[in-house]
Each structure stands twice: as structure tokens, then as C-alpha cells.
Structure 1
Amino acid sequence: MMRRVEVMPYDSIWQHLYLEEKKRLEAIFKNQLMAIHHIGSTAVPGLAAKPVIDIMIVVEDIEQMDKLNNQLIAIGYETKGGNGITGRRYFQKGGDMRSHHLHVYAEGDMNIKRHLAFRDYLRAFSGEAERYGHLKSELAKLYPSDITSYINGKDIFVQVMEMKAVDWYDRHYPLS
């Protein structure tokens, strides 16, 4: 089955789905867990998004993660390695009808700040979130069955937005 690109208006259920999954993940990660965050578009109230809950977990030692793979598989996750990002462990839940993405990083990884800055920037600047949501909606209409073209279509916008977001984040949260 081909994965359909579907961008939906914001739904407050996404926060509840995150909180439910957070409980399951906390039970698995236990003392490995340093922080857990709802990231991505579903974490930004008002932002149109693909209905996939992105969760970022921060652990002390990324190598210890591999011992938890079977427990994650038991609750429906598929192991995807780093999926192109060094130092990350990545998991997907829901098969072709994805429901969750799980990103795991070791404490201090630069990608942690990038994800949090992007999320918090879009939460703080609703006009930027609206522009991003509009772009995603238009791309989903253009490429309803081509996830690669959808992602490529967002790429430059996201890179520029991330640079602005990290700069803003550094000024507002200088100790992060």
C-alpha cells in the first residue's frame, strides 16, 4: 500500500495521543529517560499537520537504547536505525498508516536543540506557523501519493525556519 500524504487542520486530540504514548514510553525507558518531548507539527497548537505524533526522547547513553528495542517492538514500533542521522535511534509505529515517530538522542546532541527551537518558535510566532501549515497543505494537494516530493518541497522553507528558530531560541534560552 502506498503511503498517502495527508495534512489535516490542527486537532487537540494530538496532545492527548502524545500523553498516552508518553506513559507507555516512560514505563519502557525508566531510568534511561532524561527527558521526553512532543515535537513536530502536532506539538504546535493551530498548525496543520500530518496526523503523526513525533516524540523525542533524550537518554544518557544512546548505546543502551539497543537493549530496549524488543520492548518498543512489543508496543508496535519498528526499528529504523538512525534513518540518515548520526547518533539518533529512530522508530515508527503504525506501518503504512503511521501514528507515531520516535526520535531518541543522547544528552547533548545538537539535534535536540534544533527540534525544540523549531517547535517553540512556531508556538511563539503563529504567523510563521500559519505560513508553514499553508505550504504543507499545498504540497499535500500537489503530491498526495509522493511523500518524497512533499518532503523535498518543504526542505528549503524548513531549513530557513530552523535557522531563524535556533537564533531566536539561543537569544531566549541562552543556557539551553
Structure 2
Amino acid sequence: MNVVVTEYNDNWNQRFREESQKMKEIFDDELIEIHHIGSTSVPGLKAKPIIDIMPVVKDIEKIDSFNEQMIELGYECMGELGMIGRRYFRKGGDNRTHQVHVFQADNKDDLTRHLAVRDYLRAHSNEAKQYGNLKEDLANQYPKDIEAYMDGKDRFVKELESKALRWYMNN
């Protein structure tokens, strides 16, 4: 997978809204809420142009029954993919456009972590800028090596998650 980090694009929000509407139709009564997460959800943040969507559902086990409909939308169904209690879908192959991380409503740890990081970066533009610059530097260093890119930002992300969770719980 090519690693490309770009300037923030106002279209990312619209792409989230369009795709989340399709998710609402598929997951229907199983869906409680749906969130735009990840770097494309933070105005001004440089990011890989991949829209991260987080549907929150009543029963995670029932989500597997929607795999055919997700495939029809162009998604690969990846199951838990290393994260217990999640269903992960991705769209676009090597030129990925969307990632869907489905969690059950009582999975408070994962839900809170994703929302805390998003909201923290929205509220702390200096840290968002620092994170965006790190991602841009790593993408330039490792344009064909997603693993090295991920490894390069791992420590920053862990510290960010820790700060974000403390901040989120106090707000």
C-alpha cells in the first residue's frame, strides 16, 4: 500500500456523510449511532485520505449477517482483524478510500478511545499540527512501507491516546 499524506480536504466530511448514509440503510435497526473518526475527521489535520467510519451497534455478532451488502458497496469484510469485539471493513484495495470500524455499544474502551483522540485533536490544534507534520514526514520517508510508517508514529499515538483519554474524561 502506498503511503500518501495530504493537506486537510473539506470534501472528507461530505464523503463521510455519503458513506455513513449507506451504512445506516444497511445496518438499519441494529445501528445506534455513527461517527466520523480518524485524522480525516479533524479539520486542518494532514492525513492519509482514508475516511474512517465508526458505527455503534446493538449486537456486534449480527453485523456478520450484513457482509454481502457491504461487499456490494465495494468493501472487503475483514472480521475482527486483530481487535476483539470489532468488525472491520475496508474499501479501495491498495488505494484505500474508506475503513469501517464497527463496535457494540457496550464496548466503552474502544469507543471512548476513538472519540477522545478525535475530540482532543479538534480542541488542540497545535498537537494536531504536530501529528500531521509527523505523518507527512513519515510518508515521505516510507512512501511504499505502511508498516514502517505505522511504527514511526506508534509512540506519538500512544502518548496522544493517553493525553486524550485524560482530557476527555475530565470534560
Cα RMSD for the two superposed structures: 0.5
CA drift of 1:81 comes to 1.2
Give the superposition deviation at 1:108.
Answer: 1.8
Rounded to whole Å, the distance in 2 between the matches of 1:122 and 1:83 is 26
Q: Distance in 1 between matches of 2:17 and 2:104?
A: 22
Q: Once the 2 structures are TM-superposed, how far is the Cα of residue 70 of structure 1 from its aligned partner?
A: 0.5
Q: Which residues in structure 2 correspond to 1:101-140 (within 5 Å)?
A: 101-109=99-107, 110-140=109-139
TM-score, structure 2 normalization: 0.98
Q: Which residue of the partner structure matches residue 8 of structure 1?
A: 6
Aligned counterpart, 1:22: 20
Gaps of 5+ in 1: none
1:96 CA drift (Å): 1.1
Residue aligning to 1:170:
169
SS in 2 for 1:35: strand
Is structure 2 residue 92 aligned with structure 1 residue 94? yes
Q: Which whole-Å deviations, capped at 9, do the CAs of 1:109-152 have from their partners, x for residues lacking one? A: 11000000000000000000000000000000110000000001
SS of the equivalent of 1:101 reads strand
1: distance between equivalents of 2:129 and 2:161?
A: 15
Spell out structure 1 runs of 4+ moving beyond 4 A.
none
**What's the counterpart of residue 147 of structure 2?**
148
What SS is found at the alignment partner of 1:55? strand
- Three-state SS of the structure 2 residue aligned to 1:45 is coil
Q: How many residues align?
A: 170
Q: How far is the alpha carbon of 1:8 from its aligned partner?
A: 0.1
Q: Whole-Å Cα distance in 2 between the matches of residues 50 and 157 of structure 1?
A: 17
Helix, strand or coil: the match of 1:78?
A: strand
Secondary structure of 1:10's counterpart equals: coil
State the percentage of identical aligned residues. 52
Are positions 1:34 and 2:32 aligned together?
yes
Any residues of structure 2 matched to 1:11-90 within 5 Å, and which?
11-90=9-88
Q: TM-score scaled to structure 1, two decimals?
A: 0.96
- What's the CA shift for 1:82? 1.1
Note the alpha carbon deviations across 1:16-48, whole angstroms, 9 max, x for none.
000100111111011000110000000000000
